[in-house]
């Protein structure tokens, strides 16, 4: 093909087009949120923006670092002489004029702050005397103080000081009070966050401690039965059982590699095999590619225990459990299948709906709920069962999900 004379203009055009398009996109992205609006709307926008900027800090709770950052943002926005945040018996942050003697980490110098912390009432100081700073020559003339409350208790206070040239208007007083309320709300939320987290951790710990008593009872019985006939086997089983228990109690974290879950199941099955002998056959069909995939802890063992306890143990004659894990591109598919007694459709529904009373251990419903809450409702357990033929419980997890980390 000939080299065309019109090549270069065309190419230039394209490059210019790409460059301009990129510039426009970049401009839009970079200037988003900085658009100036007029009048009242602007004031609202600014307060909201201010709130928005202080919130993330306070969401982490009230301490010297977060207080300092929040105070700095308020100072930048209201442009007063100084902003202080006090809590307990200390000044957590003091940003602006007078920082030389209103030292952070020290007890408040002003009667205003002490009064605020004592009464928990919003206060306005219209004179130096009302502020009551013990230092001569303090540049702070007037002040607005508002309490920060946490669960109806005074947790601290926000004090905004103004200098000589800054008249104290009703608008400013309102603004500071609203600001303090907003900050209190954030601290409430932070506390709530921490509580939720604690609760989740406690739940997980409880979960891990919940080894089914049936299982412990059965295992100990099995070992007892071996002591006379095969003392060596009994000894081995007992050691394994101790190891298993230690592992169970020591596990931490919400997630673990799939390989670890498999090993745990393998260990668990040692005891079930000792108990059932030839009646229980276990087959693994595992793609090695997904051994390192991160999954929620204790996601597999309850499925296997369910297959053994409700599928195989109630069946006459030998049974078989197939544990399969398949690599399916961006997801992996995990299933536990038994050829035991099976369930009817009604029971299948019940199993997933709620934990039944008098059942111990981590039930299928718990696994189902955790999967759904981590990955979304479409990732729950799927149960296929027919009475007399067996049951298959399966689920799939994405190979990577932000936040699902060891």
Partner 1 sequence: MQVHWIALVAFAGIALATIAVGIYATRVARTTHDVYIASRAVGPVLNASAISGEYLSAASFLGIAGMVMSFGYDVLWYPAGYAAGYLFLLLFIAAPLRRFGAYTIPDFAEGRFGSPTFRRIAMCFVLLIGIFYMLPQMKGAGVAVQTIAGLPYWVGVVVVGSVITLNVALGGMKGITFVQAFQFWVKAFAISVPAFVLLAVFGSYSAHWEWATSSPPPALQAAIEAGAPGSAWGQPFGPLAERQGQPLLFTYSLMIATVFGTAGLPHILVRFYTNRDGHTARQTTLVVLAMIGLFYLFPPILGLLGRVHAPDLYLSGRTDALLLELPGRLPDRLLGELLRAVTAAGAFAAFMSTTSGLLVAVAGALAHDLYARTLHPRADLRERLRAFRFAALLAGAVAMAISLGIERFHINMLVGWAFAIAASAFFPLLVLGIWWRRLTVVGAAAGTLVGGGLASAAILYTMWAGDPLLPATTWSTLLAQPAIWTIPVSFGTMVLGSLLTPHRVPPDVNLKMLRLHVPETLGLRTDYIGE
Q: Which of 3, 153, 165, 229 binds partner 1 (CB under 8 A)?
A: 3
- Residue 129 contacts partner 1 per CB under 8 A: no
Number of residues that bind partner 1 (CB under 8 A): 55
Question: 240: exposed, middle or buried (C-beta count within 10 Å: 0-12, 13-18, 19+)?
Answer: middle
Does the footprint of partner 1 cover residue 229 (CB under 8 A)? no
Q: Nearest approach, Cβ of 267 to partner 1 (angstroms)?
A: 10
CB of 382 to partner 1, least distance (A): 6
Rule CB under 8 A: is residue 283 a binding residue for partner 1? yes
Instruction: State how beta strands 255-257 and 280-286 pair.
Output: unpaired
Span interacting with partner 1, options 20-28, 76-84, 181-189, 210-218, rule CB under 8 A: 20-28
Candidate residues 82, 144, 180, 262; the one interacting with partner 1 per rule CB under 8 A:
262
Say how far apart CA 156 and CA 121 lie, in whole Å. 11
Q: Return the residue of 117, 282, 297, 371 that touches partner 1, per CB under 8 A.
A: 282
Distance CA 93, CA 66 (A): 9
Provide the minimum distance between the beta carbon of 3 and partner 1 in the complex, in angstroms, as a whole number: 4
155 binds partner 1 (CB under 8 A): no
Q: Does 377 bind partner 1 (CB under 8 A)?
A: yes
Exposure pattern of 48-76 as b/e (b: 16+ CB <10 Å)? eebbebbbebbeebbeeebbbbbbbbbbe
Minimum distance between the CB of residue 118 and partner 1, rounded to whole angstroms?
A: 36
By the rule CB under 8 A, 1 interacts with partner 1:
yes
* Residue 291 contacts partner 1 per CB under 8 A: yes
CA of 249: how far to CAs of 18, 209, 341, in Å?
A: 59, 6, 32
Task: Check if the beta carbon of residue 315 is closer than 8 Å to that of residue 353.
Answer: no
Q: How far is the CB of 319 from partner 1 (least distance, A)?
A: 14
Site mask for partner 1 (CB under 8 A), range 297-336, x = bound: -----------------------------xxxxxx-x---
* CA distances to 78, 272, 279, 305 from 233, in Å: 77, 14, 18, 22
User: Applying CB under 8 A, which of residues 18, 135, 221, 353 lies at the interface with partner 1?
Assistant: 18
Binding status of residue 400 toward partner 1 by CB under 8 A: yes
Please tell me whether residue 279 binds partner 1 under the rule CB under 8 A: no
The CB-of-291 to partner 1 minimum distance in angstroms stands at 5
Judge contact between 254 and 296, C-beta under 8 A: yes
Contact region for partner 1 (CB under 8 A) — 83-91, 102-110, 233-241, 374-382? 374-382
Tokens of 15: 């490059």
Shortest distance (Å) from residue 309 CB to partner 1: 20
The reply to whether 28 sits near partner 1 by the rule CB under 8 A is no
Q: Answer yes or no whether residue 225 interacts with partner 1 by CB under 8 A.
A: no
Applying CB under 8 A, which part among 89-97, 111-119, 284-292, 356-364 lies near partner 1?
A: 284-292
> Closest distance between partner 1 and the C-beta of residue 18, in Å?
6
Structural contact between residues 140 and 127, judged by C-beta atoms closer than 8 angstroms: no
Angle at CA of residue 206, ends 192 and 190, nearest 5°: 10
Decide: is 346 part of the binding site for partner 1 (CB under 8 A): no
Binding mask 236-255 for partner 1 (x = CB under 8 A): ----------------xx--
Smallest gap from residue 74 Cβ to partner 1 (A) = 17
Task: Enumerate residues 6+ apart whose C-beta is below 8 A from 338.
Answer: 307, 308, 311, 312, 319, 320, 321, 322, 390, 391, 392
Q: Which residues contact 30 (CB under 8 A, 6 or more apart)?
A: none
Stretch that binds partner 1, among 233-241, 303-311, 356-364, 377-385 (CB under 8 A): 377-385
Which residues here bind partner 1, judged by CB under 8 A? 1-4, 7-8, 10-11, 14-15, 18, 22, 25-26, 29-30, 56, 252-253, 259, 262-263, 266, 281-292, 294, 326-331, 333, 376-378, 382, 394, 396, 398-400, 402, 405-406
């Amino acid at each position: 093909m000939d080299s065309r004379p019109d090549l270069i203009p065309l190419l230039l055009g394209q490059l210019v087009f790409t460059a301009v398009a990129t510039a426009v996109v970049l401009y839009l992205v970079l200037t988003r949120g900085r658009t100036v609006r007029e009048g009242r709307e602007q004031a609202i926008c600014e307060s909201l923006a201010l709130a928005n900027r202080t919130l993330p800090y306070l969401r982490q709770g009230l301490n010297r670092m977060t207080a300092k950052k929040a105070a700095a943002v308020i100072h930048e926005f209201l442009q007063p002489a100084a902003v202080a945040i006090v809590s307990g018996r200390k000044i957590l942050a003091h940003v602006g004029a007078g920082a030389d003697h209103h030292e952070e980490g020290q007890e408040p110098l002003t009667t205003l702050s002490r009064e605020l912390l004592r009464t928990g009432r919003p206060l306005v100081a219209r004179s130096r005397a009302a502020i009551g700073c013990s230092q001569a020559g303090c540049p702070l003339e007037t002040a607005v103080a508002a309490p920060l409350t946490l669960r109806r208790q005074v947790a601290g206070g926000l004090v905004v000081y103004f200098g000589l040239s800054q008249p104290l208007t009703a608008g400013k007083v309102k603004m500071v009070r609203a600001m303090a309320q907003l900050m209190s709300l954030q601290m409430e939320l932070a506390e709530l966050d921490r509580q939720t987290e604690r609760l989740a951790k406690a739940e997980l710990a409880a979960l891990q401690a919940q080894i089914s008593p049936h299982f412990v009872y059965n295992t100990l019985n099995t070992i007892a039965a071996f002591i006379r006939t095969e003392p060596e086997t009994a000894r081995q089983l007992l050691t394994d059982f101790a190891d298993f228990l230690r592992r169970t109690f020591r596990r931490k974290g919400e997630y673990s590699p799939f390989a670890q879950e498999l090993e745990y199941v393998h260990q668990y099955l040692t005891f079930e095999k000792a108990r059932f002998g030839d009646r229980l056959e276990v087959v693994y069909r595992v793609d090695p590619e997904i051994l390192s995939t991160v999954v929620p802890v204790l996601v597999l063992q309850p499925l296997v225990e369910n297959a053994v306890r409700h599928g195989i143990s109630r069946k006459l004659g030998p049974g078989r459990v197939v544990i399969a894990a398949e690599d399916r591109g961006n997801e992996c598919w995990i299933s536990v299948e038994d050829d035991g007694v099976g369930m009817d459709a009604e029971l299948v529904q019940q199993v997933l709906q709620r934990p039944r009373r008098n059942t111990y251990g981590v039930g299928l419903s718990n696994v189902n709920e955790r999967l759904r809450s981590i990955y979304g409702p479409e990732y729950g357990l799927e149960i296929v069962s027919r009475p007399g033929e067996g049951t298959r419980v399966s689920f799939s997890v994405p190979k990577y999900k932000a936040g699902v980390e060891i």
